[in-house]
Chain A
Amino acid sequence: NAGVTQTPKFRVLKTGQSMTLLCAQDMNHEYMYWYRQDPGMGLRLIHYSVGEGTTAKGEVPDGYNVSRLKKQNFLLGLESAAPSQTSVYFCASSDGLAASQYFGPGTRLTVL
């Protein structure tokens, strides 16, 4: 039982490049979330999903897109990376309401 996993762990991009971050969970959770963590800003919600095939915007959705084609996977895409998107990205899942979220190990992204 791996819980929540994220791929990749680290990535360096140049401005304008695109990439996709993958989050996978094996707990059969309905809810999945993408956050970014920045110094002094705490955790901010980017997008979330309340079930397969659904997505919704969080607090800071601009510049990101997401997809939840399979219940166990939640993808976060950056179409044209910007230096302001340099951050640590965390994925999380939960089995119902927003309570008791289980977090992945994080992806450290640097955009040059």
Chain B
Amino acid sequence: AQRVTQPEKLLSVFKGAPVELKCNYSYSGSPELFWYVQYSRQRLQLLLRHISRESIKGFTADLNKGETSFHLKKPFAQEEDSAMYYCALVNQAGTALIFGKGTTLSVSS
């Protein structure tokens, strides 16, 4: 079965602290994974995709097939990073995204 699990509903950190938002997946074959972000009162937007291997706003995510994980990391959190983060997986048919339940990141000073 295809599934995305984000085990933390809420993650609270202080400004300047490292951040790791966890994402685990269940998929047969080579997954295509994404992180989306929703800032307060804004629409969801793509943050990054694993195939691009890029760093956006200081965030990176590495696909670990052995652990079936795609954790989102940032070495030094900023207050403007506070948002809801969703991990997503392309379904087996390649036609839709399966989203996790989301993790709210709260960064305080």
Give the chain B neighbours of A48 by CB distance below 8 A.
Answer: 95-96
A77 within 8 Å of B (CB atoms): no
Q: B43 to A40, Cβ gap below 8 A? A: no
Q: A100 to B94, Cβ gap below 8 A? A: no
A66 within 8 Å of B (CB atoms): no
In the bound assembly, the distance between CA atoms of A48 and B94 in angstroms comes to 12
Q: B100 to A98, Cβ gap below 8 A? A: no
Q: Taking the nearest CB of chain A, how far is it from the CB of B9, in angstroms?
A: 7
In the bound assembly, the distance between CA atoms of A11 and B99 in angstroms comes to 25
Give the chain A neighbours of B44 by CB distance below 8 A.
Answer: 43, 90, 92, 103
Q: B100 to A42, Cβ gap below 8 A? A: yes
Q: A31 to B43, Cβ gap below 8 A? A: no
Instruction: State the total of A-B contacts with C-beta under 8 angstroms.
Output: 58
In the bound assembly, the distance between CA atoms of A4 and B95 in angstroms comes to 19
Q: Which residue of B lies closest to A42 (CB)?
A: B101
Give the chain A neighbours of B98 by CB distance below 8 A.
Answer: 45, 59
**CB under 8 Å from chain B, chain A span 29-80:** 31, 33, 35, 40-45, 48, 50, 56, 58-59
Q: A99 to B86, Cβ gap below 8 A? A: no
B46 within 8 Å of A (CB atoms): yes
B45 within 8 Å of A (CB atoms): yes
In the bound assembly, the distance between CA atoms of A105 and B86 in angstroms comes to 16
Q: Taking the nearest CB of chain B, how far is it from the CB of A69, in angstroms?
A: 20
B32 within 8 Å of A (CB atoms): yes
Partner pick for B90 among A40, A90, A99, CB 8 A cutoff: A99
Partner pick for B97 among A4, A40, A101, CB 8 A cutoff: A101
Instruction: Map CB proximity to B onto A68-112 as digits: 1 under 8 Å, 0 otherwise.
Output: 000000000000000000000010100001111101111000000
The 19 listed contacts between A and B (C-beta, < 8 Å) are A33-B97, A35-B99, A42-B6, A42-B100, A42-B101, A43-B99, A44-B99, A45-B97, A48-B96, A58-B96, A90-B43, A97-B32, A97-B94, A97-B95, A98-B94, A98-B97, A99-B32, A104-B43, A106-B43
